[in-house]
């Protein structure tokens, strides 16, 4: 079998002939960037074959690379089959890097009512006169020293097995951990030697398709102790949910369950290290994830969610012990998985709804969560409608020639001077630009529109005589940064095709909002607050989001970011057990609108496939602004006059 | 039961001038002002000022044309002047629509010939002229400039602007004061988007004619009918970006399966039946200009339109 050596790390791996470089890289533990799931569509998994033989179809895939790159042996890892022993150089840009993930200060006000408590108790040793069992001694002591307990406390077998030794070893001075777990029963979760009552933690987790975020809370002081995030390690089984479910069908669900748990464990470990705490002092975990992710973590087969008639196995909230899932917290810790609304509106969205508080307000709010897919919830304390759709990867930098995730070197902000068409950009970490991430692309679209480089259909005005506006090799393009300004050594451009992808993405989001408003019988004038959930919302320029028609036009002060709504919702549920009880009711109250079955969706989509929208009356502010921009643009002399 | 309009109309379709008489600065013996209706044509009293017009379509390079037409007209089609003359004098068309099919030839660069063709057609007929230019990005800018220039003063109707390519044809229309056909694929929203794009680069509404695009009857016309109806409703309800007259040309009527597979001797009759029926339906849906290619289609379609118009 051929041996593959990956440079510069010198990782070696032996694989059967015909294996793709991508699979070999996975085997070698390299996390390659495969936006398309490894089907030769995104061109992001560039590698250089330095020595040895591999089969790569240049005819079909050569378009992703420059002649110079091809000369150096460039090929796509996902479509290149290994023939003999080879050496492969993997450029840094082809690997998944540390991502900038939203981690902001919490701005929550909710009652501090955790559902786990620790009781430090000193017991009397048993005697012939007082021979009551160990368990009763503990419970009686709690009752005596901390007041009456509300109900009977159950003790799991695992705890009972350890009690006698601990009690005697500790000289009858112990700390008991008691948790209230659904359906409203108290459980003795642990008994430890000595006084550990100041060490009690909970963790809330956003289990995303791409990233996992963990917040460790000190459940004694009610403060955040540590925060960490990392990639969902399932990415090695496919970038998007669909490819992962298919992976599960072929290779078994167990691997996906393990990877989900490991991803969470990595986040918990990092957060615990940051907080300098022992993970075994974590007695409760709240998990908010989409429906498929939640199924996978729980080890429930999600295969029937992704094809007609799209049925999840369960949508109510689930409680289980951490040990059942392989989470590295106290084995008896309760894990609470958020309930889902439907196949595509998962626990993460229910958490969003909890975090923004729209379900308890009279005002009609719109909550938009944009990621690989998008979810929209509209409503108030009386009614709620939700829908979900594919925004396409464009808003996250996928399927855009120079699109990239929000990694260092990504252009995240852009302005264009309408008089000179010169762009000013800011990159993440302020290094030379390597690509453009979602917020940068939205800025670009808005700025190209307001400087009249593109029309409302997204077409570049090639009559403009300017070095940054070019016919391009495949499509007209605008040069965001010339080769010498970049960190990639080639001109960084945005093409008309990229712009079309972006418009398609933004049109689906806006059309989804419109469909929900139609269903509810309201207009954009009835909208109170628009909430953005997800990292995206925090970095996005609100005005530009309206200018391109990603969201309905409302006054800017009515657009709010709830940050990572999934984790914030999980935080609320963690620290206030009463909120947890309402979640199944909230989930039940959210009606799900299937966009594919909604006849008005295509119509709304077509109307929305225009910047900002075909019906200008819906965007009066943008419309007036664009009128001014056009007048300005025609006065600046850099374009050929049309007549 | 008395007819009740489906809605309280607040809008009026704008007027678009096609052709220019001597008095107006051109050389046509007649010019048209299409549109102007504040109600639905054929149905409501203010449905239009005049009967919908019939345009006869011909081309400068018959290699790309329907064999039925070539067979029926013979040598006439080899000479653009004769063909254009016949359109009005013999067939009785209201306007002539000239397709510059010569530009479809690979490596086309004879821009002088385009100007000549337009001038030839204008010289041969005194009817207003619609000119259909190329849709090849590499030549369209120069081609439309030449077309516009050759027809200066004649108020041509230039085709065709689409969402992906409208700047060249719009530039020629603006520079030489012609009107533009704005074609979008059978969708009220896309029609509106293109009109907005044209407006935003300076083409006034009175120089735009909407082509909602269509297939022949049974080949997509049903969708077009519905799109046209929606465009008309939206305009009459006050949407200014859709308040332009419409043109309809079911160009595939001569090539559909029914015509191709018609028994010997029946092809012409079938083609004409299809063209006339589609054209009449398009007019009822709101088209101010309907186009045909078969020479035998002009008279029956005009007669049908006149009769239906008169009875409304």
CATH of the domain at A74: 3.10.20.30
Contact A459 B200 (CB under 8 A): no
A643 contacts in B (CB within 8 Å)?
A: 171, 174-175, 202
For the segment A227-253, what is each residue's pLDDT rounded down to a tens digit? 999 999 998 898 888 899 999 999 999
Reported confidence tier of residue A641, pLDDT bands at 50, 70, 90: very low
Same domain, A398 and A357: no
Q: Does B189 touch chain A (CB under 8 A)?
A: yes
The percentage of chain A sitting over the pLDDT mark of 90, rounded to a whole number, equals 63
B197 contacts in A (CB within 8 Å)?
A: 455-457
Reported confidence tier of residue A1, pLDDT bands at 50, 70, 90: confident
Q: Does B193 touch chain A (CB under 8 A)?
A: yes
Whether residue A267 lies inside any domain: the answer is: yes
Please give, rounded to a whole number of angstroms, the shortest distance from the CA of A521 to a CA of chain B.
Answer: 20
DSSP character for A557?
Answer: G
A610 contacts in B (CB within 8 Å)?
A: 189, 193, 196
Same domain, A601 and A614: yes
Displacement of CA B107 from its chain's centroid (Å): 27
Same domain, A425 and A548: no
pLDDT at A149 over 80: no
Q: Does B190 touch chain A (CB under 8 A)?
A: yes
Domain B16-311 CATH superfamily:
Dihydropteroate synthase-like (3.20.20.20)
Please give, rounded to a whole number of angstroms, the shortest distance from the CA of A401 to a CA of chain B.
Answer: 20
Per domain, the residue ranges of chain B are 16-311
Q: Identify whether A286 is preceded by a cis peptide bond (ω within 30 of 0).
A: no
* Pair A230, A263: CB distance under 8 Å: yes
Q: Is B87 left (phi over 0), alpha (psi -120 to 50) or beta?
A: alpha
pLDDT at A433 over 80: yes
More confident of the two residues A9 and B293? B293
Q: What mean pLDDT comes out for the span A410-415?
A: 95
More confident of the two residues A9 and B298? B298
Inter-chain Cβ pairs, chain A and chain B, closer than 8 A: 40
DSSP string, chain B: -----SS-----PPEEEES-BGGGTS-BS--EEEE--SS-TTTSTTS-SSPPEEEEEEES-GGGS-HHHHHHHGGGGG-HHHHHHHHHHTT--SEEEEE-GGGGSTT---HHHHHHHHHHHHHH--S-EEEE----HHHHHHHHHHHHHHTTTS--EEEEEBTTB-HHHHHHHHHHT-EEEEE-SS-HHHHHHHHHHHHHTT--GGGEEEE-----TTTTHHHHHHHHHHHHHHHHTT-GGG-S-EEEE-GGGGTSHHHHTPPTTTHHHHHHHHHHHHHHHHHHHTEEEEEE-SGGGHHHHHHHHHHHHHH-
For the segment B113-125, what is each residue's pLDDT rounded down to a tens digit? 999 999 999 999 9
A459 contacts in B (CB within 8 Å)?
A: 163-164
pLDDT on residue A169: 95
Q: What mean pLDDT comes out for the span A48-74?
A: 87
Instruction: Check which CATH number belongs to the domain holding A174 and give it.
Output: 3.10.20.880
pLDDT on residue A102: 36
Q: How far apart are CA B275 and CA B252, in angstroms?
A: 9
pLDDT on residue A30: 78
Please give, rounded to a whole number of angstroms, the shortest distance from the CA of B174 to a CA of chain A.
Answer: 6
Return mean pLDDT, chain A: 89
Whether residue A100 lies inside any domain: the answer is: no
Same domain, A303 and A356: no
| Domain tally, chain A | 5
Whether residue A569 lies inside any domain: the answer is: yes
For the segment A79-121, what is each residue's pLDDT rounded down to a tens digit? 999 999 999 988 877 876 544 333 344 455 677 788 899 999 9
For the segment A276-316, what is each residue's pLDDT rounded down to a tens digit? 999 999 999 999 999 999 999 999 999 998 888 888 999 99
Residue A542's alpha-carbon distances to A365, A553, A606, B277, in angstroms, are 16, 10, 23, 53
pLDDT on residue B65: 94
Please give, rounded to a whole number of angstroms, the shortest distance from the CA of B99 to a CA of chain A.
Answer: 24
Please give, rounded to a whole number of angstroms, the shortest distance from the CA of A607 to a CA of chain B.
Answer: 6
Q: Under DSSP, is residue A222 helix (H, G, I), strand (E, B) or coil?
A: coil
- Name the interface residues of A facing B (CB cutoff 8 Å): 455-457, 459, 461, 463, 603, 606-607, 609-610, 614, 616, 630, 642-643
Instruction: Tell me the ipTM for this assembly.
Output: 0.87
Q: Is A316 left (phi over 0), alpha (psi -120 to 50) or beta?
A: beta
Q: What mean pLDDT comes out for the span B1-5?
A: 67
Q: Under DSSP, is residue A90 helix (H, G, I), strand (E, B) or coil?
A: coil
Q: Residues near A362 by Cβ (< 8 Å), separated by ≥ 6?
A: A380, A381
Q: Residues near A356 by Cβ (< 8 Å), separated by ≥ 6?
A: A365, A367, A529, A531, A533, A560, A562, A565
* Pair A427, A409: CB distance under 8 Å: yes
Biggest CA–CA distance in chain B, Å, is 62
Beta-sheet strand order (sheet of A116-122): A116-122, A173-181, A185-193, A153-154
pLDDT on residue A395: 80
Question: Which ranges of A521-619 would DSSP assign to H, the alpha helix?
Answer: 535-539, 542-547, 565-575, 577-589, 600-608
Q: Which of A185-194, A233-242, A527-536, B241-250 shows the highest mean pLDDT? A: B241-250
For the segment A305-360, what is each residue's pLDDT rounded down to a tens digit? 888 888 899 999 999 999 999 999 999 999 999 999 998 899 999 999 999 989 98
Residue A256: is it exposed, middle or buried by C-beta count within 10 angstroms (0-12/13-18/19+)? Answer: buried
Whether residue A463 lies inside any domain: the answer is: yes
Q: What mean pLDDT comes out for the span B248-257?
A: 93
Same domain, A403 and A474: yes
Same domain, A365 and A419: no
Instruction: Locate the chain B residue with the closest alpha carbon to A642.
Output: B171
Among the partner-chain residues A606, A630, A643, the one whose CB lies closest to the CB of B190 is: A606
Q: How far apart are CA A66 and CA A640, in angstroms?
A: 32
Compute the Cα dihedral for A9, A11, A16, A20 and give only its sign: negative
Among the partner-chain residues A457, A463, A642, the one whose CB lies closest to the CB of B174 is: A642
Contact B193 A614 (CB under 8 A): yes
Whether residue A103 lies inside any domain: the answer is: no
Among the partner-chain residues A456, A616, A642, the one whose CB lies closest to the CB of B197 is: A456
Burial A566-589 (b: 16+ CB within 10 A, else e): bbbbbbbbbbbbebbeebbebbeb
A43-57, B29-43, B98-112, B174-188: which has the minimum mean pLDDT? A43-57
Q: Does B175 touch chain A (CB under 8 A)?
A: yes
Among the partner-chain residues A455, A606, A643, the one whose CB lies closest to the CB of B197 is: A455
Compute the Cα dihedral for A127, A133, A135, A136 and give only its sign: negative
Same domain, A478 and A529: no
Q: Is A171 left (phi over 0), alpha (psi -120 to 50) or beta?
A: left
pLDDT on residue A97: 59
Contact A456 B201 (CB under 8 A): no
B171 contacts in A (CB within 8 Å)?
A: 642-643
Contact B175 A643 (CB under 8 A): yes
The CB-side HSE value for A197 (13 A sphere, CA atoms) comes to 14
Q: How far apart are CA A33 and CA A236, in angstroms?
A: 9
Whether residue A642 lies inside any domain: the answer is: no
Same domain, A495 and A588: no
Rounded to 10 degrees, the C-alpha dihedral A145/A147/A151/A156 comes to -20
Q: What mean pLDDT comes out for the span B101-107?
A: 93
B196 contacts in A (CB within 8 Å)?
A: 456, 610, 614, 616
Instruction: Locate the chain B residue with the closest alpha carbon to A458.
Output: B164
Same domain, A304 and A428: no
For the segment A190-223, what is each residue's pLDDT rounded down to a tens digit? 999 999 999 999 999 999 988 899 999 999 888 8
For the segment A154-204, what is each residue's pLDDT rounded down to a tens digit? 999 989 999 999 999 999 999 999 998 777 788 999 999 999 999 999 999
pLDDT on residue A643: 32
A616 contacts in B (CB within 8 Å)?
A: 196
Contact B163 A461 (CB under 8 A): no
A603 contacts in B (CB within 8 Å)?
A: 189
Please give, rounded to a whole number of angstroms, the shortest distance from the CA of B200 to a CA of chain A.
Answer: 8
Q: Which domain holds residue A400?
A: 394-502
Q: Does B170 touch chain A (CB under 8 A)?
A: yes
Instruction: Locate the chain A residue with the closest alpha carbon to B176.
Output: A643
Contact A461 B167 (CB under 8 A): yes
Same domain, A162 and A306: no
The token pair at B252 is 């595939």
DSSP character for A9?
Answer: T
For the segment A64-78, what is each residue's pLDDT rounded down to a tens digit? 888 888 888 899 998
């Amino acid at each position: 079998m051929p041996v593959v050596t990956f440079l510069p790390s010198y990782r070696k791996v032996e694989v059967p002939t015909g294996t793709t470089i991508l699979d070999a890289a996975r085997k070698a533990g390299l996390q390659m960037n495969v936006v398309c799931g490894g089907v030769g569509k995104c061109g992001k998994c560039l590698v250089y074959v330095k020595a040895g033989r591999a089969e790569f179809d240049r005819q079909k895939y050569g378009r992703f690379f420059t002649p110079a790159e091809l000369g150096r042996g460039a090929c796509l890892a996902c479509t290149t089959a290994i023939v003999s022993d080879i050496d492969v150089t993997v450029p840094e840009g082809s690997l998944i890097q540390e991502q900038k993930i939203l981690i902001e200060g919490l701005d929550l006000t909710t009652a501090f009512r955790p559902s786990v408590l620790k009781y430090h108790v000193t017991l009397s040793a048993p005697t012939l006169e007082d021979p009551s069992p160990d368990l009763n001694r503990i419970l009686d002591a709690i009752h005596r020293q901390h007041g009456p307990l509300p109900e009977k406390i159950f003790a799991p077998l695992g705890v009972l097995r350890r009690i006698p030794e601990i009690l005697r070893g500790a000289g009858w001075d112990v700390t008991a951990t008691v948790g209230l777990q659904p359906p409203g029963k108290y459980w003795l979760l642990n008994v430890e030697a000595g006084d550990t009552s100041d060490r009690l933690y909970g963790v809330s987790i956003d289990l995303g398709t791409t990233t996992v975020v963990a917040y460790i809370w000190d459940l004694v002081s009610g403060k955040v102790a540590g925060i960490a995030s990392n990639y969902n390690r399932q990415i090695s089984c496919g970038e998007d949910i669909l490819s992962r479910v298919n992976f599960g069908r072929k290779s078994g669900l167990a691997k996906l369950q393990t990877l989900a748990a490991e991803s969470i464990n990595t986040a918990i470990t990092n957060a615990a290290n940051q907080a300098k705490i022992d993970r075994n002092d974590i007695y409760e975990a709240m998990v908010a994830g989409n429906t498929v992710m939640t199924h996978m973590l729980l080890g429930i087969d999600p295969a029937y969610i992704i094809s007609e008639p799209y049925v999840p196995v369960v949508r109510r909230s689930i409680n289980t012990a951490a040990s059942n899932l392989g989470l590295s917290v106290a084995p008896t810790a309760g894990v609470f998985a958020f309930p889902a609304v439907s196949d595509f509106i998962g626990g993460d969205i229910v958490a969003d709804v909890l975090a923004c508080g729209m379900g308890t307000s009279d005002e009609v709010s719109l909550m938009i969560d944009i990621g690989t897919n998008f979810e929209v919830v509209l409503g108030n304390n009386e009614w709620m409608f939700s829908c979900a759709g594919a925004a396409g990867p464009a808003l996250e930098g996928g399927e855009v020639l120079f699109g990239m995730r929000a990694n260092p070197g990504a252009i995240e902000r852009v302005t264009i001077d309408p008089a000179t068409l010169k762009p000013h950009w800011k990159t993440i970490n302020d290094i030379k630009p390597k690509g453009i991430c979602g917020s940068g692309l939205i800025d670009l679209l808005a700025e190209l529109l307001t400087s009249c480089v593109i029309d409302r259909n997204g077409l570049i005005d090639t009559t403009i005589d300017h070095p940054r506006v070019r016919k391009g090799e495949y499509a007209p393009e605008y040069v965001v940064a010339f080769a010498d300004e970049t960190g990639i050594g080639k001109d960084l451009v945005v093409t008309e095709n990229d712009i079309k992808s972006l418009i398609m993405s933004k049109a689906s989001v806006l059309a989804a909002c419109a469909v929900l408003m139609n269903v509810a019988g309201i207009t954009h004038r009835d909208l109170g607050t628009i909430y953005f959930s997800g990292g995206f919302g925090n970095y996005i320029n609100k005005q530009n989001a309206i200018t391109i028609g990603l969201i309905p036009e409302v006054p800017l002060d009515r657009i709010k970011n709830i940050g990572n709504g999934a984790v914030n919702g999980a935080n609320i549920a963690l620290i206030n057990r009463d909120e947890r009880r309402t979640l199944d009711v909230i989930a039940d109250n959210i009606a799900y609108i299937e966009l594919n079955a909604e006849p008005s969706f295509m119509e709304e989509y077509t109307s929305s496939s225009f910047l900002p929208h075909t019906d200008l009356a819906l965007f009066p502010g943008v419309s007036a602004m664009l009128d001014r921009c056009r007048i300005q643009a025609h006065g600046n002399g850099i374009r050929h006059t049309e007549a | 039961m008395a007819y009740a309009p489906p809605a309280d109309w607040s809008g009026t379709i704008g007027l678009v001038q096609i052709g220019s008489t001597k008095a107006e600065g051109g050389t046509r013996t007649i010019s048209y002002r299409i549109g102007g209706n504040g109600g639905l044509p054929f149905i409501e009293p203010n449905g239009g000022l005049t009967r919908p017009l019939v345009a006869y379509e011909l081309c400068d390079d018959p290699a790309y044309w329907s064999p039925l037409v070539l067979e029926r007209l013979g040598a006439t089609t080899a000479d653009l002047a004769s063909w254009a003359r016949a359109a009005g004098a013999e067939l009785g068309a209201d306007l002539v629509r000239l397709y510059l099919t010569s530009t479809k030839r690979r490596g086309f660069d004879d821009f002088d010939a385009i100007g000549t063709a337009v001038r030839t057609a204008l010289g041969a007929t005194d009817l207003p002229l619609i000119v259909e230019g190329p849709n090849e990005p590499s030549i369209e800018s120069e081609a439309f400039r030449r077309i516009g220039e050759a027809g200066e003063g004649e108020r041509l109707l230039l085709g065709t602007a689409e969402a992906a390519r409208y700047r060249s044809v719009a530039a020629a229309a603006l520079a030489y004061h012609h009107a533009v056909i704005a074609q979008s694929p059978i969708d009220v929203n896309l029609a509106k988007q293109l009109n907005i794009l044209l407006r935003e680069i300076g083409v006034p509404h009175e120089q735009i004619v909407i082509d909602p695009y269509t297939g022949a009857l049974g080949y997509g016309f049903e969708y077009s009918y519905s799109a046209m109806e929606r465009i008309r409703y939206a305009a009459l309800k006050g949407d200014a970006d859709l308040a332009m007259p419409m043109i309809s040309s079911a160009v595939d009527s001569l090539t559909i399966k029914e015509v191709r597979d018609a028994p010997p001797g029946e092809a012409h009759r079938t083609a004409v039946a299809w063209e006339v029926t589609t054209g009449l339906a398009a007019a009822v849906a709101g088209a101010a200009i309907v186009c045909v290619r078969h020479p035998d289609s002009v008279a029956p379609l005009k007669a049908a339109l006149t009769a239906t118009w008169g009875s409304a």
